[in-house]
Every structure is written in C-alpha cells, then in structure tokens.
Structure 1
Amino acid sequence: MKEVLTQINGIPIRENFVENLPYNPKLKPLINGKRKAGILSEVIFWKQVRAKSFHNIDFDRQRIIGNYIVDFYIKNLGLVIEIDGWSHCTKEDYDEIRQKYLESLGLKIFRVTDFDVKNNLGVVMKSLEDFIVENYAY
C-alpha cells in the first residue's frame, strides 16, 4: 500500500513515486540558463509552490526526464507540471510526442497556460488541487 503524501481539503493523497526515470546528463548545462532566463509565469508559479508551501508537496524546477527538461516535477506523485507559453502554439506535434513519451514512463502531466498563471493564478492553483485529487486520492 502506498504512503499518504499529504491531504488536500481533507482528502488523503497517495504517493506515486516513479522509479528509474531516464536522465540525459548532456541537458544539465541548459537548466541554469533556463532558470536564469526567469520566465515570468514560471517564477510566479515557483513562488506559489517552493519550499513545500503548496500542501507540503516538494516540487522540483527544471527537471531532466529522458531527453526533455520539464518545467516542474513532483517526484512523490510522478507528476509533471508544464506551463505553455506562446511558443507552444507552433510546437503542437513536438508537445504531443513529448507528452506521449512522458506518459509512457508512467507520469501524469498537468498543463496550464502562461496567460492563466499570470492572470488567473488562484484558478490555476485550484485546478492543480483538483487534478491531484482526481488522480492521486485514496
């Protein structure tokens, strides 16, 4: 039986740690550049979730999984959080291939738009709560 990671609105959330994720060390130099770029929506979201401030859940920022760098990752849930900005409008095929790959590893993906993070942060955080409850509740 999996451990209870946290509770959201009184609902126990089970751990779903995905082991042995592939890792491409050649991507490591790109991570610091992505962090230093300070994409506003990522910074805003990070301020909401860093230091276990969102339901005591530990988030990683700019995590390498296989040949991809995901925006945010919750290792105790096997959950990727992607913030899609304007550049994703031209990369639908790439995003679909990437998402299928991540899902093939047993990961779940929560997508949100850059616009919503900047303009509807409360709705984004509530949607994330709902997604976690829907997918990880006991």
Structure 2
Amino acid sequence: MEGNGDQTMLKPSVILTGTAKEGSSGPPIGLVDIGVSEGAYLFRVALPGVRKDRSKVKFEIKSDGKVQIEGVMSGPGFLKESSAMYQMKVQQLCPPGPFTVSFKLPGPVDPRLSSPSFRPDGILEVVVMKSRAQPTVADSQPPLGV
C-alpha cells in the first residue's frame, strides 16, 4: 500500500451537464468515489433523487476507462404515495430534466466485465475489471440500462 500521494491521482475529473450542473441546493448529483484493487476498479456515483424504475438511468464504460452516466430527473409535479397524492411545493433536489455525469477511471478496463448495482439509497455502484490487454478504439461496452 502506498502513501496518500496516490489519492490525488485517483480524484476523477467529473463533468456534469443538464440539470445535474444546474442543481445548487440539496444533495449534489455526480459525487464520485473510486476504489482500486489489483484486478478491478469500483466506482460509486451519487444520484440522489434518481429512481431506478422511473429515471431510465444508463451508463457506458469505454475500454480506456471513460465512464458516462445518463438519466432524467423526474419533475416535482405530483407524487403519489400509497393512497395520497402530493403536489410538491419545495424543490430541494436536482431540477427535473436530463443529466449526464462523465469521468475517467485511473486506467484501462474490460467493459464487458462489469457488475452494476443501483442501490435503493441512490448510489450507482459498479465493479469493472482492469484490462489485461491494450485497448483498441472499437472496444467499448454497449450502453446498459440500470
């Protein structure tokens, strides 16, 4: 295990677009943590307010380690919970609309060998194996719906 100097190298440059960029209050979309093991990377992306069943979240991993996550935040409008209907008067989460989160992992990966999980707490968690061969331009994982 090496010292803390390696942590600065692992801090991803994250690019936000759409409503993820505009959201200024509430928990931010797009916070990224990256873990490294000998053979794989684990990344976790915060997507608070994004619901797996309604947001059509999908992501793509390229062999060079570039990750792009896309989705749509639902509008505040009306919310139906059990038998009650609520009209939202306060909007603290990211505003409604499409968003993207892009970042790059510390090294090349094999996009075919990934294990995604969209947790109930709004965290997208993915383990992807490191690449054993040099990546080619054609190597990329087709977009996955989560």
TM-score, normalising length from structure 2? 0.26
Query: Which structure features the higher share of helix residues?
Result: 1
Query: Which structure features the higher share of strand residues?
Result: 2
Q: Which has the higher contact order (CA 8 A, sep 6+)?
A: 2
